[in-house]
Amino acid sequence: MSNVTMKEGKERYKAGVLPYKKMGYWQPDYVPKDTDLLAMFRLTPQTGLDPEEIAAAVAGESSTATWTVVWTDRLTACELYRAKAYRCELVPNTGEGTKTEAQYFAYIAYDLDLFEGGSIANLTASIIGNVFGMKAVKALRLEDMRIPVAYLKTFQGPATGVIVERERLDKFGRPLLGATTKPKLGLSGRNYGRVVYEALKGGLDFVKDDENINSQPFMHWRDRFLYCMDAVNKASAATGEVKGHYLNVTAGTMEEMYKRAEFAKSLGSIIIMIDLVIGYTAIQSMAIWCRQNDMILHLHRAGNSTYSRQKNHGMNFRVICKWMRMAGVDHIHAGTVVGKLEGDPMMIRGFYDTLLDTHTKQQLDKGLFFEQDWASLNKVMPVASGGIHAGQMHQLLTYLGDDVVLQFGGGTIGHPQGIQAGAVANRVALEAMVLARNEGRDIWNEGPQILLDAAKWCGPLRAAIDTWKDISFNYESTDTADFVPVATGSV
């Protein structure tokens, strides 16, 4: 039986079961329109199944299809509304002759009319709704998407954006510095505030709540907000700099989150924080509130690795970056490269480009499969957090650039001379490295010596280098680019 698409008519809609390819969900000659939303999946078919048929099944089940023919399709503009799988190719270094079973990149085009404007919830209900549970696939991963400009224009985008955030903070030409309060659970409100003050007084721009500090028996959220803002105000007065603390307003209901956000605003906070686990609609709602109230919105990516880390199933973090830029957050944790959390250098750079570019080019070495015009949406400030310290400053600045918040939690609070000394070490290391870079020095190769020279007149930096000089997290990354460079003829 041929698997070419059947022509519209009586036989096409005869009761029974047809392959998805014959139902019209496989169209290898289809040329995507500028207004189409494109998705690229990595699929691992069950043994013996045709990958093109599985690609068509993913297209069908994420748009209009079900397992059998239904005549009610004819009451719709069904040819328009069907998603079209238009390309399916073997993933490099998988399949016969390799250690990895065959995987395929499947490209699917969706008409814009399939999605409600301004709704991440509706978008994701289609793209990742139920296709990941299909028995015909062993594994399925959403690798990348191209969002058409027409659809992006229905979203607010980041509440504040990188440029306005820097203007509010009056901080330019360098990364921002932050830290997460440690221990993240168990401190009283007063002691929590003491940590915040010491870190900000020593030279950090921000301190933050961690993802799971909300309102527990040992510290009610209101107490934390009061003590933290007291610390922020005193540190600002002592240093003459604008300071902030990410007050986590994550709670069990939207009503409670709005209540906490309003209280943070009343105390003069410039920034609040939410967790990814609150859900896409709640994130968008908080972003709208932040735009209306001139508040920076920090997002902790709590929970993302449950579905983004495995290479063959789930969703790549670059997709989360795109959705969160659309949803409207101002900050998102996006990897450190050199820290304790997962992060291939090129993949991390791809995440940062996605958050910061006005127009992202296709760059397969960074895992960016599509060109993306960001339609003037504000930029998102990436946050590097997790296992970083002052001795890595040359690496962090080289890999991540200026538009990033470098968060040294343990690398500040774990300093042998105290919290304020830890903050001083980080600030001196950063300013010494930025100065050397601006003078034209090769900070990648000269970085360790630049830090040692600065440490001659900064005891806290000397102590930091001595304490953590041998600490690294050099493990093989689980998420790397899959592409084969192709030589082109000279012209």
Question: Which residues form the catalytic set?
Answer: 182, 300
Are 405 and 174 within 8 A, CB to CB? no
Are 34 and 124 within 8 A, CB to CB? no
DSSP for 178-228 reads E-B-SSSSS--HHHHHHHHHHHHHTT-SEEE--TT-SSBTTB-HHHHHHHH
Please report, for residues 91, 332, 377, 389, 420, the alpha-carbon distance to residue 178 in angstroms, rounded to integers and kept in the order given.
39, 13, 25, 12, 13
Are 406 and 331 within 8 A, CB to CB? no
Closest CA to 106 of 176, 64, 33, 53: 53
Task: Give 135's DSSP letter.
Answer: T
Distance from C-alpha of 94 to C-alpha of 99, rounded to nearest angstrom: 7
CB-based contacts of 413: which residues, under 8 Å, 6+ apart?
A: 179, 181, 182, 195, 199, 419, 422
Cβ-based burial of 150 (10 A; exposed 0-12, middle 13-18, buried ≥19)? middle
Q: How many residues does the chain have?
A: 491
DSSP for 313-327 reads SEE-HHHHHHHHHHH
Residue 18: other Cβ atoms inside 10 A: 19
Helix (H) or strand (E) holding 3: none
